[in-house]
Each structure stands twice: as C-alpha cells, then as structure tokens.
Amino acid sequence: MQFFGKPVGLNLKNNGLGPAVITAMTVTFHGKEYPVDEDGTTPGLHAALTKTGCHIEVHFAGTDSSVSAGQEIDLFLFHRSTVSVADHNAAVTAMQHIGFRCQYKSMYGDSFEIRRREGLGVEGADV
C-alpha cells in the first residue's frame, strides 16, 4: 500500500542472475496502447497523463537497452505525493489505470515477457 508522504510509482526490477535486454515495451493507459519506441519515448502518453492533473515522471528504456541483474528502473514516479493527500490520491488513481508489457531476452537469448494489467494497485511490478 502506498502511504501519503512517500513517492507513488511503478518500477521494473531485474531479479535474474544476468542482464536482461529489452526487445519491446508497450504501456496502456485507460485501455489505450502506447508503444515505447527505440529511444524510450511514447508519443501521446505524456499528454494523456497530463489530463489527470498529476505530474508523473516517465522513464523507459529503449529497444535493445539492458537492465543489469538487480537493477531497478522507476517507470512512473510521482514525487509530489508529499504535497497533499489530494495530490497523493490523484497519483494513486492515475497509476491504477496504467499497465505495461515488457518483452526481453536473457543473456542466453531466451525470450520472456512480463505484464502488469491496468486496475492493479501501485505496489509490486517486480520481476
């Protein structure tokens, strides 16, 4: 559970023994898909998130980026959750409407995929 006074966010963590190479990533927000391009940008997603009234930082790794073993990436982060309970709750509500799919390869070339569905709480997207 996210508590008022702590940053609200969603992260991705490599719990594997070796690096993971991201081959594709797609974000969904209110059911609409936003593919992450090779530079790590998502055209249209920022405008959609801005409509929530929250300032949410977005950080994505582009195609062929690697995530080291143990590395954690904040995909979405809302620092202003310490400003007011209303801002905090707005960020939590916005985060609940975010989903993502990440396809990646191990250092041995095996392909995998992880997903986070929309409608989940803001805790735990560790893989």
Give residue-wise pLDDT tens across range 62-98. 888 899 999 999 888 887 666 778 878 888 888 889 9
Closest CA to 98 of 52, 39, 41: 52
Evaluate whether residue 102 is within a structural domain: yes
Tell me the C-alpha to C-alpha distance, in Å, between residue 8 and each of 32, 51, 55, 110: 22, 18, 11, 33
What's the pLDDT score for residue 126? 32
What's the pLDDT score for residue 60? 85
Task: Answer whether residue 61 shows pLDDT above 50.
Answer: yes
Task: Answer whether residue 120 shows pLDDT above 70.
Answer: no
Task: Answer whether residue 122 shows pLDDT above 60.
Answer: no
Evaluate whether residue 23 is within a structural domain: yes
Closest CA to 122 of 84, 82, 85, 77: 77
Evaluate whether residue 125 is within a structural domain: no
Contact 111, 105 (CB under 8 A): yes
Evaluate whether residue 2 is within a structural domain: no
Give the range of the structural domain holding residue 12, as residue numbers without chain letter: 8-114
Task: Quote the number of domains for the chain.
Answer: 1
